[in-house]
Amino acid sequence: MEWARPTRARNGFTKISAFTNSPAQATCFTSENDCGENKSDWDRHPFYRVNRNRPVFIGIDGGGTRSSAVAVDSAGRVLAKAKAGPLNFFSAGLPTARRGLNALVVSLDRQLPQETRFKEIVVGCAALFSDATETEKGKLCRGILPLERTRVVSDCQTACFGAASGSPGVVVLAGTGSIVVAQNEAGRMRRVGGWGHVLGDAGSAFWIALESVKAAIAAEEGGGRATGLSRLIRRWFKVRKLTEIVPMIHDPAFTKEQFARLAGHLAQKVAGCDAVFCGICRRAGRELAAQALVAVKLARLKACPLSLYLVGGVLTNNSLVRDSLVAALKKARSVRVEEPRLSPLLGAAAMALDHAGVALTADVVANLAKGGRSAGSRRYFGLSGEHVGVQPSGCSGPQHVNA
């Protein structure tokens, strides 16, 4: 068991570090039972002992592989940035998530002057479907962040809030996974999808890759349409026979992110030239549109035209999916496609500002966006990742499958 001790920061604040043998190890408590029991030590953490003169707002985008944080002032100007490891306490585990969160906190503190005051913090976490319970928030944040000024939400909520800057609309996110979030005029959000690659993620890069492999298998067994997908898939996996991919796919080391990249590879090679793959991409768009309409209905979103924000590598780079999605939506609603205004990271910061009562004026949003160009973000809801749906520049022949 590691016990935290206070050490002095350069600006006189008290930092928390652990008694470890390696600087790469934890800088926070590492077991559920150690979450901030020693209040006297944690109360001297930089997020507690601060001057009241300069309020600063913190946005955190916590993913399953990496996370990022940003500190902004009340005008939306970016003051500090930080990156760390995963915050998904389901996939990475609570100790790892707490280490990542603590690393973000310490990094931001080192970049900010002593007179700053952390007024509001929003953490977007990939482990959640909606707002964290008090128990979940405490397990992740106690001793690292002031609980009374911290809100922990799903990262799809910060993605939606960032894309629309808090305005009514529907955000469709499709990259490695997929999810749809709609927000109505009263600020009420409703989510559809986001169940993961095993239970759902229709229209995502993983889904496109899986449907492509299924189509190749069907063609090889004689029960499906002829397609050039089999040859491309075999080359991508570097095997001679399609049956040889089975142990590779079931290898625990083979991740869903790796499999999702197959969709981008196929799109680069055959999109627009292989009827089967084109059909899969168009079906992906229709699946996403169906989810969007359900989300709009659940949120009771009445806006007309409907503001639509498309986020993630599939919708950014694959025009077949994007066009199919928009066309399907336009059959049911008047739709206006708009550019996402802020990344999920800056969406978390904007949510912190909004929660503190700061008006998200055009100037504030512009300042956030300006700072975000250099601040970067983990991803758009962890969904863009690689170019998972790139439309090729050109293709000749009905079965162009050259690797």
Place of tokens 């599939």: 314
Backbone angles phi, psi at 126, to 5 degrees: -70, -10
Query: Does any domain span residue 92?
Result: yes
Q: Provide the whole-model pTM.
A: 0.74
Same domain, 274 and 125: no
Residue 150 and residue 29 in one domain: yes
- Summarize the chain as % helix, strand, coil (round to 5): 40, 20, 40
- Residue 380 belongs to some domain of the structure: no
- Same domain, yes or no, for 153 and 63? yes
The tens-digit pLDDT sequence of the chain (403 residues) is: 232 333 334 333 333 333 233 333 333 333 333 333 333 333 444 444 444 467 899 999 988 778 999 999 999 999 999 999 888 887 778 899 999 999 999 999 999 987 677 899 999 988 787 788 899 999 999 999 999 999 999 888 898 899 988 889 999 999 888 999 999 999 898 999 988 889 989 999 999 999 999 999 999 998 889 999 999 999 999 999 999 999 999 999 998 889 999 999 999 988 678 999 999 999 999 999 999 999 999 999 998 999 999 988 899 899 999 999 999 999 999 999 999 999 999 999 999 999 999 999 999 999 999 987 754 444 333 333 333 333 333 333 333 333 3
CA distance 259 to 253: 11
Same domain, 87 and 9: yes
Tally the domains of the chain: 2
Same domain, 191 and 287: yes
Q: Per residue, what are the HEC states of 331-396?
A: CCCCEEEECCCCCHHHHHHHHHHHHCCCCCCHHHHHHHHHHHHHHCCCCCCCCCCCCCCCCCCCCC
Distance between CA atoms of residues 72 and 149, nearest Å: 15
Residues 39, 127 share a domain: yes
259 falls within a domain: yes
Helices (H), 178-274: 205-221, 229-237, 245-249, 256-270
Greatest CA separation found in the chain? Answer: 73
Domain of 357 in residue numbering reads as 4-164+343-375
Return the CATH number at 265: 3.30.420.40
Same domain, 135 and 257: no
Pair 358, 231 in one domain: no
| 399 within domain boundaries | no
pLDDT of residue 53: 62
Instruction: Please report how many Cα atoms fall inside a 13 Å half-sphere around the Cα of residue 275, on the Cβ side.
Output: 6
Domain membership flag for residue 217: yes
Provide the 3-class DSSP secondary structure of residue 277: helix
* 388: phi then psi, degrees, rounded to nearest 5: -90, 10
Note whether residue 390 is domain-resident: no
Nearest CA-CA partner of 162 in 319, 299, 364: 364
Residue 33 lies in a domain: yes
Return d(Cα 28, Cα 125) in angstroms, integer. Answer: 18
DSSP 54-69: EEEEEEEEE-SS-EEE
395 part of a folded domain: no
84 and 113 inside one domain:
yes
